[in-house]
Amino acid sequence: MMLRFSLQLILSLLPVLLLRGQEIPLPYGAKRLPDGNLELNGAIVRSAAQELALPCRFVLKEGALEVILGKPDGRMHEALLCTDIPAVQVQTMLYLLGAENGFRQPNEKGRQGDLIDLFIEWKDAQGNFQREPVEQWIVDTRTGKNLAQKGWVFVGSSVKNGAFQADAEGNIVINYSIGATVLDSPDPASDDDTLHIVDAGKTQPPSETAIFLVMKPRTKVANSIIQAPEKGNVSP
């Protein structure tokens, strides 16, 4: 029921976003922030930066890793981060930012999905803003070093029997390429569940710290529906 409500809410938002900054009321659940960004269910679309920020929290401090960002009902025993934002909302917001989904690897059936860079953001104990690639928390067991920053493929999820499959499985970003998800690994060998572990030597922010996982499409900004509002047209 909550998933259906979220999808209806997002779809109702589309006409508003298409008007690109005109001063009209926002639908229930969405609000324009003082800086002009748009917030929906806690997720923030940064119109000027053309990126999506999702509130999240760390799960694992060490061990095998199969999920980069999951939902509470997903594989939390193998996840780096957890969020309460529905996968269907994440996918819709990426579309609004101009990203296009496709295959995990380019093949004869079609193109590869757009690459999305992932960053973890927080403020440290001194109040200083921190932003680092998510790969800094992941170790590639083949090299013993932090995972190379190659982006994450926007594969997108499908709907089956009325259920958005990524939400049904609790996945949003996975590094072990098994199951429905929104973003997946571009690594051809990612069907191996032993490739990645959490970097146990990397200090995580305290549990009470507000943390965001930021998704920034590498391309397609020109196709973005969401634009920064013009001055004087920011709704309260």
Q: Which residues contact 108 (CB under 8 A, 6 or more apart)?
A: none
Q: How confident is the model at residue 223 (pLDDT cuts 50, 70, 90)?
A: low
- The domains of the chain are located at 2-223
pTM (2 decimals)?
A: 0.84
CA angle 114, 120, 124 (to 5 degrees): 160
| Residue 210 C-alpha from the chain's centroid | 16
Residue 226 pLDDT > 60? no
Residues in Cβ contact with 201 at an 8 Å cutoff, skipping those fewer than 6 apart: none
* pLDDT on residue 228: 53
What's the pLDDT at 72?
Answer: 95
What does the block give as tokens for 220? 């397609």
Tell me if 189 sits within 8 A of 141, measured CB to CB. Answer: no
What is the pLDDT at residue 227?
Answer: 56
Rounded Cα distance between 86 and 88, Å, is 5
Q: Are 92 and 183 in contact (CB under 8 A)?
A: no
